[in-house]
Amino acid sequence: MATVQFFNQFPCKTRVQSPSNSKPLSKPPSSLVPMSALTRRPSFSPGEFAVSRSDFRVRVIDAEDELDPETSEGGGSALLMAEEAIESVEETEVLKRSLVDSLYGTDRGLSASSETRAEIGDLITQLESKNPTPAPTDALFLLNGKWILAYTSFVGLFPLLSRGIVPLVKVDEISQTIDSDNFTVENSVLFAGPLATTSISTNAKFEIRSPKRVQIKFEEGVIGTPQLTDSIEIPEYVEFLGQKIDLTPIRGLLTSVQDTATSVARTISSQPPLKFSLPGDSAQSWLLTTYLDKDIRISRGDGGSVFVLIKEGSPLLNP
């Protein structure tokens, strides 16, 4: 349905006759316009006003076409933007899964080959370019919670991750817990042995310095109280300084020692955690978050090292 709008107002004068002087007409006066003249098309002489066809433009739009986003210009752009957004999300999910798959068997980066490190670095760079949270410090609800370390290039952690330094003891988990309400950070390393598990952690406060960067100030370290394991198994061998030691000949002796150690461990477990202060010179650091979503966080430290962490409870932790 078309609508015509008139933008020009044409003045018109109306001749009004006084009612007091009005009389019934017996016949039409000669001055009246004949009826036939009213049906003729009026003509205008040059110099009077004229209206060109370009002054009036009428656009007829079908109602169904106007509501169809595929045929309307604005709707088409919105549809294209939606398709591009969906495609970008799908690409990001593929990159995330590829990164997690490439981390498998690297022992948090310790045993990764140079080729694997290059592949991981490339995937990290691609993910950072698709960061859905450009200002992570403005989205503290995403930062909040426990994050499990899946990969790092920080060489300072490699001695800790190395197997065989302490017999029968291994690093079971490295995590970082962020409390965005109180602006605190807890870094924790969980050690697991045949008799018990224990942890060493550091508590820190953080301050927001930019949309991506936080300043961390460590306050204290904590050695957790050992917790007895539910089941104790003595392995057939252990690795120590790269050498395998067979434990079969001394299994009986180890069983006796195990019973004594269990009793001692129960006594230790009843003690409170041991807290210690940290040196002032090494008690500060900063962290730059370059990728953040509900599953993965990628951060870079002040030494140029990179950290890939996965949120506790994420399906990405179950390859």
Mean pLDDT of 104-133: 94
Cβ distance 224 to 199 under 8 Å? yes
Comparing 73 with 109, the larger pLDDT belongs to 109
Comparing 88 with 195, the larger pLDDT belongs to 88
Per the DSSP assignment, residues forming a β-bridge with 274 are 223
Q: Which two tokens stand for residue 165?
A: 């330094």
At a CB cut-off of 8 Å and minimum separation 6, what does 238 contact? 167, 168, 244, 245, 247
pLDDT over 90 at 51, yes or no: no
Categorize the per-residue pLDDT at 187 as very low, low, confident or very high, splitting at 50, 70 and 90: very high
Q: Count the Cβ atoms, other than its own, within 10 Å of residue 1.
A: 6
- Gap between the Cα atoms of 190 and 116, Å rounded: 26
- Gap between the Cα atoms of 25 and 98, Å rounded: 100
If you count them, how many residues does the chain have?
A: 319
pLDDT over 60 at 302, yes or no: yes
Quick one: which H or E segment has residue 227?
Answer: strand 227-228
**pLDDT exceeding 70 applies to what percent of the chain?**
57
At a CB cut-off of 8 Å and minimum separation 6, what does 95 contact? 123, 126, 127, 130
Domains along the chain with CATH numbers: 88-311 (2.40.128.280)
Comparing 43 with 177, the larger pLDDT belongs to 177
pLDDT over 50 at 56, yes or no: no
Comparing 31 with 268, the larger pLDDT belongs to 268
pLDDT over 50 at 300, yes or no: yes
Task: State which of 21-25, 105-109, 296-300 shows the largest mean pLDDT.
Answer: 296-300
pLDDT over 60 at 153, yes or no: yes
pLDDT of residue 7: 41
Q: Of 191, 190, 175, 140, whose CA–CA distance to 312 is shortest?
A: 175
Q: Which two tokens stand for residue 189?
A: 């390393």
Q: Which two tokens stand for residue 59?
A: 């656009």
**Dihedral of the alpha carbons of 62, 64, 70, 75, in degrees to the nearest 10:** 90
Lowest mean pLDDT among 20-34, 149-163, 265-279: 20-34
Lowest mean pLDDT among 38-42, 218-222, 272-276, 298-302: 38-42
Mean pLDDT of 258-276: 68
Lowest mean pLDDT among 113-127, 134-148, 235-249, 262-276: 235-249
pLDDT over 70 at 249, yes or no: no
pLDDT of residue 28: 45
Per the DSSP assignment, residues forming a β-bridge with 221 are 202, 276
**pLDDT exceeding 90 applies to what percent of the chain?**
37
- Gap between the Cα atoms of 305 and 2, Å rounded: 66
> 3-class DSSP state for residue 63?
helix
